[in-house]
Structure 1
Amino acid sequence: MLDLMPSESTTRFAFSKHDAVLVHGTRYQPVDETDKGYILVRADGQGVAESYSRTEMARLVELGHVAHERNAFLPESARRRLELPSEMLSTMGEKKHRKAKRREAVVLAFLALEEEGRVKRTDASIQSALNDIKVRAAVFCSQRSACDENAIDPDTLIMPKVGVRSVRRWLSAYVKLGLPGLYDAIENRGNRQSRLRPDELALMSRVVGGYLDDRKPSISTIYENVQ
């Protein structure tokens, strides 16, 4: 779907340098936008830069010759981070928010110690700094955060139970996905639609339905018939 920017004259399209724009089926990447129009280069690196005026682009869009893929040239990790909606977090229960807050505290503790030059991203270094990470994490966990706005009495600090593998795993998830990566199975949420076409699903349903037959064909037979 094309992003539009209102204009008093010709419609302006909001192309980002990370987007892909397909014109007549050829894939381009926007490199610049001027008062007159757009400058695109082919995604395969072939040819020279091509320019389209706003009027030309609007006409191509009207004829259905343009497709727009947002963030197509972003690294996978950055694209996944953008695709995780904040609304998803708001639907989670208090228990998950508290768990994410503890993980966030551990990650922030590690990053703070790393900035001070007291720990590196190796198992040996994390192991030697584990107690410091736990103490610092306990302090972070007592404060308000994006996961949990409740603060606790600093006199009741509880150091989290965490090992080297957990520190590395949570740090990696945080770097790739930001805060949402610290919630359980958050990266597995999203489009769960089947990649099979409707006709394939219909065929499979008829064959698999044969398992309900009184003659009880074996699973291996059903599998062979599906194939």
Structure 2
Amino acid sequence: DIARYSKLITAKDMGHNEQREAKLLERCPPGHEGKKLVDKPATILDASGAIIAWYLLDALSDTTQKEMREATNLLAPSLEKSVKADGNWRTHQKWFKQDSENVGSAPGCINISPAWFQQGHENVSDPEVSASLKGPSSENILKGIARPAAIASVALRVMHPEQYFAGLQAFSKLGHKAVSKELPQMPETLEFWASVFNTLS
């Protein structure tokens, strides 16, 4: 039962404490015997019948994956700048491989959203476009992630309709606020933002 399990765990449960994991396993044992090979689209249910995972093999075509890699490459300068020797728990350099070891995208941690509440500011009533989308490449980045973002939105519409419609509502209100308060860069960013996901939804 995923609801029961979620009440038992805390933010400190990272899977590294063997005794703690053994207790959790005892209180919430697996609902099946052995391993199963799943080679077709499927949903995984908990004991109460709630869907806890969707398995959609080949849902992202090679073309879509290529688009995602290319869009990620556009973020490389921002990703590289985010890693710091004195960074916080998300951006400290010890959590990232060195360039010589990196065989994929540039390592880093950034936030991409048309609306972002600026930490450390006294007035947080008006969100801003996240810093990663304020650069000269922002329009290209948004265009590059448009189709994959739309695919993720379609998946959310099926998997979690309540969150999908809440996202649409947040997006609509954000658009009205961006125009009425003349929030800098936000109308332009919203024009190309293709996902119902953002920090407000």
TM-score, structure 1 normalization: 0.25
- Tell which structure's C-alpha radius of gyration is larger: 1
The TM-score, its normalising length taken from structure 2, stands at: 0.27
Q: Which gives a bigger RCO, structure 1 or 2 (Cα 8 Å, sep 6+)?
A: 2
